[in-house]
Structure 1
């Protein structure tokens, strides 16, 4: 990777600053987190603000590392403005997805940049299917699409087992946002990377099938 773009630095900094504010200020965290009851009472701003809060340092680090790995690949391909569009739409769709899955659970709460980051992840994989990652604990390159699909399958596990105060559902809304918006911006991908599109859709299809069967 080359130097991080200013846009990526600003987004990471915003997540770090707002998250650490939330770590030390319970009232702030409660005011801006995703909460179904509060949103249904009219506080729709939580659907955006919750995307900059995190449960703890580990949660923040995971999301920001994922953004670090993939953000500039998207910016290189579609430009900074379109990157911001993908990020914001993925964030909002992630929140809408969570609201859909938990619309009758008024106490349900979640935080995290998961939706936005997963949207960028999916966008980057579509734009550069040959990408590979070197993770700290695995000494061989991992194809980015393997990481992406594994990330989503873990999200299904997280949803099914209600792991943490993390918006696992938002990963899927974000993935759909990143997938759809990128394909709209770069429609030639339908001709050049149809197989990759199909592979990335697999976890989304699995989720909807499990939901239809009542398993999530």
Structure 2
């Protein structure tokens, strides 16, 4: 007997639930401020010296997106849909979820290191001039949100597992092999991060997701863990 399956019903469970949860939380970020609850401020990743920092934010920040525009959450979840479902089918749900969360946490840690290197001396100087309490008010403004670090980890994994699959990109009529797409995207992020272009975007967090993804995949390869999801 043939069964009709809905769009979401055809998706593997982790991919499907990641998309649903991210959109539900995005909707919450635009509605809850009406009752005085700012989810971005509570669950977004703050600088570790900020009074608003909580270690749990290293996980929760990747489920927060810009409440002022749907494009942030849409494009991140579109990437999860396009590439995550293939990885989940290859690895299995538990291993895919472990990879997703690990690369997201790794991206957050890299962002914290970037902030520290960039701002440590400046923070010390400001604190000496105006006091630590006043400095805290400025530190509390530093916050990172979004699933992009985990998404870049997904892109890295897809490029390593399926390097020769052609990808057709918007405005580019010629297919690009996945491995070249990932390398090119990584180099662009590195350029943006070093140059300071698009300074409002956490480029080093994106690179952190790819870096932690690379370490994890190489570790699995060293341990002889294949692509059949038998990690757990």
TM-score by length of 2: 0.71
Task: Please say if 1:16 is aligned against 2:23.
Answer: yes
Q: 1:134, 1:50 → 2: CA distance?
A: 30
Q: Are the aligned partners of 1:111 and 1:166 in contact in 2 as well (CA < 8 Å)?
A: no
Residues 174 and 41 of structure 1, relative CA distance in 2, 3 Å threshold: same
From 128, 132, 137, the equivalent of 2:162 is 128
Partner of 1:212: none
Partner of 1:118: 152
Compute the displacement of 1:175 (Å).
0.6
Compute the displacement of 1:162 (Å).
5.6
Task: Please say if 1:66 is aligned against 2:101.
Answer: no
From 77, 92, 98, the equivalent of 1:85 is 98
Q: How many equivalent residue pairs? A: 187
Q: 1:100, 1:112 → 2: CA distance?
A: 17
Task: Please say if 1:101 is aligned against 2:114.
Answer: yes
Within a 5 Å distance, the mapping from 1:20-31 to structure 2 comes to 20-26=27-33, 27-31=38-42
Query: What are the ranges of 5 or more consecutive residues in structure 2 without an aligned counterpart?
Result: 1-9, 124-138, 225-232
Larger % of helix: which?
1
- SS of the counterpart of 2:222? coil
TM-score by length of 1: 0.76
Q: Are the aligned partners of 2:46 and 2:53 in contact in 1 as well (CA < 8 Å)?
A: no
* RMSD of aligned residue pairs (Cα, Å): 2.4
Q: 1:158, 1:20 → 2: CA distance?
A: 30
Which fold has the larger relative contact order, with Cα–Cα distance below 8 Å and residues 6 or more apart in sequence? 2
| Greater gyration radius | 2
Q: Are the aligned partners of 1:77 and 1:127 in contact in 2 as well (CA < 8 Å)?
A: no
